[in-house]
Chains A and B, each alone.
Chain A
């Protein structure tokens, strides 16, 4: 189980992220989560949106280089030690995390955490076996 994340190449100069959000706004695309990573010269915006495939198309048309990746979205109990419990399971299963980011998604009792792992199926199985809920695209897209 996985959700679709769109990663966009951005140059490191004023107005670059703004250019991206303008395209999204113009096409009435709603973001669920966003994470920014940067090096000295360029950055990557990773976003989760309501319409991932439309988004990839409109971004390509607007001249952006972007890629759609399947990432793992996990329901994290909003209590102290909630994330720790999830990470215990992943480290026991020897699953390496490439990157990740969290968002609340407007809920009170739990949060979401997005993880990039090599094998989504293996991670999903390990988490589910311990009763952790792995979220599908539908849940985030219709949120």
Chain B
């Protein structure tokens, strides 16, 4: 029997949901027009006023907000509430440019935590559960979001934060943690470490995990599910929109339900900005319709994605998004070919290697080179050089057929690929263009 944290909202018939979105959007556009001069100027430049927006059908008339806008307006330019009404900030790491600082009123925090509570409930969490939150705490939204959601569900919450693997395993065992929240690469790492300690899935009480904040593949899900003996659920979010919980997976594990009573999703052509028809693949754009302090309209996520409007067996009526197929800013263009790290990960896992890899792109004699560094694992190692060589050649062939591009494979020592906060550094682009 599927359980919901907010059954009425999560299973609301779509026509009612649409009416709710219409009403909230109109109100939100007015709020932004009145309180965010930066966005008002963008609307005026496009000749749009709040009167032009009568509902979701008019959404396409509004200008986009991009990462560049966040930079220009940093730090206060996109705020919808005075600082005196804000109670917290969160911030991105700033690894892909200038950091983003997002502001929250108490109301914003409350709704965000509701979204995370929905995700936890969908993963089977109740007040009987012990939830170990191993996302980083602090400026990063992962820890705070799932922490708040876990409280709302009534789980016993272990705010362990990231890192210190021995302590993580110790708490899971000693306090019988049943739900684990962390990045998928850290979950995989915990699984590896448990294996090294001679522990299997039956030695720990975990039953489910909520893993997000980075791209992971279906194969990696299987891998984590098997080593930890759990069901692994995906969760999606961006600091710009609150944090994790913008969308989450249900028991069907076939896409993430977008919390549409808070966020309206669109798919656009990343080149032209045109809204694409239902079911198309394109860039995901979100409009927050309930946020007060940092109310972004038509925010371009850079995530390449597809939406699925078919009814879900779980009973939720909210649209499902697929795992982002890559970020248009994570996407590498190598010798003119689009390469997503997730494609490389899929090939590695299919060939029996672990998902610990690093992509090194360089430019030699005006031509791009792609190197994939893979950690040697006990499973893949033998005393026979020929055998290792053969597997390596198979991997090169597999990468070529997936990417349409020749890649050099380098086998490196185990654990030699840098992990920061459990999040591996996946891409090194040495090209000077």
Contacts and interface: CB of A to CB of B under 8 A. Distances in A.
Interface of A: 5, 7, 9-11, 37, 39, 41-42, 44, 46, 60, 63-67, 69, 98-99, 116
B383 interface: yes
B413 A41 contact: no
A46 B381 contact: no
Contacts of B389: 39
Contact of A66 (B381, B384, B385): B381
Contacts, number: 50
B376 A41 contact: no
Contacts of B376: 9, 42, 65
Contacts of A65: 376-378, 381, 413-414
18 contacts: A7-B382, A11-B413, A37-B385, A41-B411, A42-B410, A42-B411, A44-B388, A46-B383, A60-B196, A64-B414, A65-B376, A65-B378, A65-B413, A65-B414, A67-B378, A67-B383, A69-B383, A116-B384
B383 A7 contact: yes
Nearest to B386: A98
A38 B318 CA distance: 56
Interface in B337-389: 376-378, 381-386, 388-389
Contacts of A37: 385
B419 interface: no
Per DSSP, chain A at the interface is: strand
B416 interface: yes
**Residue picked from A10, A44, A60, A116, most chain B C-beta under 10 Å:** A44
A67 B382 contact: yes
The 7 closest A-B pairs by CB, nearest first: A7-B383, A69-B383, A65-B381, A65-B376, A9-B376, A11-B413, A42-B411
Contacts of A7: 381-383
Nearest to B410: A41
B54 interface: no
Given A44-B385, A63-B413, A98-B386, 4 more contacts: A7-B381, A9-B411, A37-B385, A42-B376
Nearest to A44: B385
A39 B412 CA distance: 13
